[in-house]
A and B are shown apart, each in its own frame.
Chain A
Amino acid sequence: MTVGMRTTTDIGADELHDLAASLFDTGHRLAAVVGHDDGEFLRVVYVFTSGPPDLRRELVVRLGAESAVVPTLSDLSFSASRFERELHDNFGIIPLGHPFLRPLVRHQHWPEHWYPLRNNAGTMPAERVDAAPYPFIEVQGSGVYEIPVGPVHAGLIEPGHFRFSVVGETILKMTARLWYVHRGIERMFQGADIDRGLEIAERISGDTAVGHTLAYCMAVEEALGLEVSDEAWALRSMLLELERMYNHVGDVGALCNDVSFGVANARALSIREQLLRLNDEVTGHRLLRGSIRVGATSVRTLPTGSELAQVGEAFDALVALARSNTVVVDRFEGTAVLAAADAAAIGTVGVVGRASGLAIDARASHPFYETSRGFVPAVQSGGDVMARFDQRVDEFHASLEIVRRLNDLATGLSAGSASSVDAPRSGLGIAEGWRGTIVHRVELDASGRISRARTVDPSFLNWPALSVALSDTIVPDFPLANKSFNLSYAGNDL
């Protein structure tokens, strides 16, 4: 079975803005902007997607290495403005007319005019010691003060710096300065063979091993022209939902823990542990690594109906416990509201988008498995912490249902692929990881090694939404709001 058709068009830089505008008008979203250094020129691929029906349009702009300038799309799409800042930091490509071209990936100590994804970047030069601090926007007014938090936190969480401008306890503005976990993953991909690439993809964000691996494999399979069998797609679909389940249970518990309802968290952790052990039985790895490979998928065993039923019952009891506590409900309701209009304008995806009413889900828009066609994602309307809690609960139930159904349909524990003739040498993989839509774009060179791989984690698109949702939220509610988004720092930074 093939995934959606991809069309790639070479265009001139001057046509970009108009073509992009017409794609946005026809319901496309900008899924990725991928820079390439082809030696004598730079190439930027703008990936637009929409669905259903599954549509993938790529616009390719070539630029001279010396005059690396593209027209900005930031007036059309907020996500585009973020992609362009990333492109500027990594390639030195200037989006002409960008209103806010501040460093995004680039930290202050990176040398000036050093672009790490250019071919001539070499090893990183010495860090700057004289770098000015990041120019946070200072909120003026009487009684306004700043609270800097992080990047090192008291708990065992990923690093990120948050700068709050506060009056009393009310947040006026929050700026998240992330990118403290830059590992140079895109560089690591370059020159790797596809098996090595798989190992890297599995480790981009530890809690999203399946999501990233699947998107990577889809991209490589498209590039190699591999036809993956239906059985393999069924197993992949099941693994994707298993990953969603253990993460959503963890989040439901963590949300309760952040309002100090420890008993519910303890129960959630026990359910999560049951699921991790189930993962271990099924794949031989608690975090589901090692099952999905390019062109094939295999598991050791399938989860039994009684195991799934037991987890389902325990989860329902947990949710009932949380919802019956009036203090918990009071803390969740009306906290950190992300309005549907804001969510759409920012281009949020995944759980966060759906909790604000955006029915955006790659399982519906870019389905890869026959029985999952016609999938209708759950959505909420509130956009507050409660809605994000409810969204996870609904998605857990849906995932459990999908795993049960696939279990009944499964015909084998291992499935492979057949190779077809024409291989485009580049591929696009889109998968709905548990946080949201993951996009991988891979290009292979003549020897079959990866010449360029670009990953877009949903967190990259969703982080700005957190700041927007925080206006009029009080400082002590920030950890709860942040947890309800539960975005990845590692997936965001590469």
Chain B
Amino acid sequence: MIAIVPSAAYSTLATLVQIVLVVLLGPLLIGFMAKVRARAEGRVGAPINQPLRDLRKLLSKERLHARHASVVLPFAPMVILAATSVAVAISPLVTTHPLLGSSADILVIVYLLLTGSVAAALAGLDAGTAFGGMGASRAMTIGALAEPALLVAVIALSIQSGTSNLPSMISTTLTHPNWVSGPSRLLALVALVIVVIAETGRLPVDNPSTHLELTMIHEAMILEYAGPELALVTLGASMRLGLLFSLIANLFFPWGIATSGSILGLLLGVAALVAKTALVAFGVSLIEIRSAKLRLFRLPELLAGGFVLSVLAVITGLVTR
């Protein structure tokens, strides 16, 4: 295979396209999942672009802070958004040649997202309310349980490619299509889906649409936010969902991603990503609709299950290499 390295200008354009795409795609995916749920419940449901409208509404409101909040509360949304945006920028979403693609080690992505999680948890603690602390404590517990499963699943994926650089992992998968259906990949896929559901706060781990304060995880952390800052935090969470769904789609079905330096390829890459993530979102919706929220103390069992699957993925990956 002859590697065609596109120009820096092309990579910059592709990266900008990725960021804009995920800013729109994240909220739209959430709107789409709400729509699927509404239809399953026999409702018409809100339009798919409702989350975007909500963001616009929130951005036009005044800024309000809790009385006892420190600088962390207004600062955290920027950290969350910045960390997520960098992760989006360097990940191979519509092209295998994003700007700084050589730095896009999957561990870097994982820890960029973790930076956002830590900022959100600190913001939850900042105002000193019981709910914020409760949500932060729960989110960190789940994060701590999800992380090992995620890291081991990543190792399983990098065994075949021989690298943990995301663009390379995807490029090599394109040249070895039979890897995708291998047992190691499938096991890692299931593990990753469990982790992504936990990390994006979807059912059966967290219910993003609940109004029951005491059951909340992510929503409890951000209860003290209002107006533009709530918009940023929500956008950050939506982008994170868009990014994680995109990575699942591309790691397990990379076809459609732009590998050359052509604009047409980029457009195709965008179309392919939208289609693939919609499919992932649909699949996650089906899981959500059929399941109920697990008891909080059962979550370790679910995430331990994810961990076991990723360990099995590593073992199978080593054996079948």
CB atoms of A263 and B211 under 8 A apart: no
Instruction: Mark interface residues in B195-217 (1 if CB within 8 Å of A CB, else 0).
Output: 00000000110010011111100
Report how far A73 CA is from B231 CA in the complex, Å: 57
Chain B residue at minimum C-beta to C-beta distance from A156: B211
The answer to the question of B68 belonging to the interface, with a C-beta cut-off of 8 Å to chain A, is no
Chain A residue at minimum C-beta to C-beta distance from B294: A327
Contact of A259 among B37, B42, B214, B293 (CB under 8 A): B293
Determine whether the beta carbon of A263 is less than 8 Å from that of B41.
yes
Q: Which B residue's beta carbon lies closest to that of A479?
A: B212
Let me know if B214 and A262 touch, CB within 8 A. no
Q: Is A259 in contact with B297, judged by CB distance below 8 angstroms?
A: no
The answer to whether B296 touches A169, judged by C-beta atoms less than 8 angstroms apart, is yes
Given known A-B contacts A145-B130, A147-B130, A266-B41, A331 and B212 have beta carbons under 8 A apart: no
A246, chain B: closest CB distance, angstroms: 19
Residues on the B chain within 8 Å of A475, using CB: 134, 214
Q: What sequence of 0s and 1s flags, for each residue 30-61 of chain B, a beta carbon within 8 Å of any chain A beta carbon?
A: 00000001001111000000000000000000
Return the CB mask of B254-294 against A: 1 if under 8 Å, else 0.
Answer: 00000000000000000000000000000000000111111
Residue of A nearest to B216 (CB): A476
Q: Is B321 an interface residue when CB atoms closer than 8 A count as contact?
A: no
* Cβ-defined contact, B41 with A262, below 8 A: yes
Q: Does B296 contact A263, Cβ atoms closer than 8 Å?
A: no
Q: What's the nearest-Cβ distance from chain A to residue B238, in Å? A: 20
Asked if A260 meets B203 with Cβ closer than 8 Å, knowing A328-B292, A475-B214, the reply is yes
Instruction: List residues of chain B with CB within 8 A of the CB of A325.
Output: 290-292
For chain A, residues 245 to 280, give those with C-beta under 8 angstroms from any C-beta of chain B.
256, 258-263, 265-267, 270
Q: Given contacts A266-B41, A478-B214, A479-B214, are A331 and B293 in contact (CB under 8 A)?
A: yes
Let me know if B296 and A331 touch, CB within 8 A.
no
Cβ-defined contact, A154 with B295, below 8 A:
no
User: Which residues of chain B come closer than 8 Å to A186, judged between CB atoms?
Assistant: none
Q: Are B297 and A263 in contact (CB under 8 A)?
A: no
Cα A153 to Cα B215 with chains together (Å): 13
B121 to chain A, nearest CB (A): 16
Which range holds the interface residue count of chain A? 20 to 34
How many angstroms from the CA of A328 to the CA of B211 in the assembled complex?
19
Q: A154 near B130 (CB under 8 angstroms)? A: no
B292 touches A331 (CB 8 A): yes
Q: How many Å from the CB of A327 to the closest CB on chain B? A: 4
A149 in the interface (beta carbon within 8 A):
yes
Which of B40, B214, B291: most chain A CB closer than 10 A? B214
CB distance from B165 to the nearest CB of A (A): 38
- Chain B nearest Cβ from A139, distance in angstroms: 14
Please state if B203 and A331 are interface contacts (CB–CB under 8 Å).
Answer: no
Q: Using a CB-CB cutoff of 8 Å, which residues 111-161 of chain A contact chain B?
A: 145-149, 153-155
The residue of chain A having its C-beta at the shortest distance from the C-beta of B131 within the complex is A147
Which residues of the other chain, A, contact B213 by a CB distance below 8 angstroms? 149, 153-154
A445, CB-defined interface residue at 8 Å:
no
Establish whether residues A154 and B212, one from each chain, have CB atoms under 8 Å apart when the complex forms: yes
In Å, the complex CA distance between A458 and B290 comes to 36
Pairwise interchain contact A155-B293, C-beta atoms closer than 8 A: no
Q: Is the Cβ of B214 less than 8 Å from the Cβ of A149?
A: yes
Flag whether B298 is at the interface (Cβ < 8 A).
yes
B-contact 0/1 string along A289-314, CB 8 Å cutoff:
00000000000000000000000000
Within 8 A of B (CB), among A152-179: 153-155, 169
Which residues from chain B contact A261 at a C-beta distance below 8 Å?
291-292
Minimum CB–CB distance from B205 to chain A (whole Å) comes to 10
Closest residue on chain A to residue B40 by CB atoms: A263
A260-B214 in contact (CB<8A): no
* Distance in angstroms between the alpha carbons of A331 and B204 in the assembled complex: 12
Q: What is the CA–CA distance of A124 and B212 in the complex, to the nearest angstrom?
A: 35
Docked CA distance A263–B290 (Å): 8
In the complex the two chains form, is B130's CB within 8 Å of A148's CB? yes
- Whole-angstrom distance between the Cβ of B78 and the nearest chain A Cβ: 26
Distance A266 CA – B209 CA, assembled complex (angstroms):
14
CB distance from A201 to the nearest CB of B (A): 31
From A147, A256, A265, contact of B134 by CB (8 A)? A147
> In the assembled complex, which residues on chain A have CB atoms less than 8 Å from the CB atom of B42?
266-267, 270
Please give the residue numbers on chain B whose beta carbons come within 8 Å of chain A beta carbons, in ascending order. Answer: 37, 40-43, 130-131, 134, 203-204, 207, 210-215, 289-298
Known contacts A261-B292, A262-B289, A479-B212; can you find 16 more A-B pairs with CB under 8 A? A149-B213, A153-B211, A154-B213, A261-B291, A262-B41, A263-B40, A325-B292, A327-B204, A327-B294, A328-B292, A330-B294, A330-B298, A331-B294, A474-B297, A475-B214, A476-B215
Q: Which residue numbers of A lie inside 8 Å of B, CB to CB?
A: 145-149, 153-155, 169, 256, 258-263, 265-267, 270, 325, 327-328, 330-331, 474-479
* Subset of 16 A-B contacts with CB under 8 Å: A146-B130, A148-B130, A153-B211, A154-B211, A154-B212, A258-B215, A259-B293, A260-B203, A263-B40, A266-B43, A325-B290, A325-B292, A330-B298, A474-B296, A475-B134, A479-B215
Q: What are the 5 A-B residue pairs with the smallest beta carbon separation, nearest first?
A: A266-B41, A260-B293, A261-B292, A155-B211, A154-B211
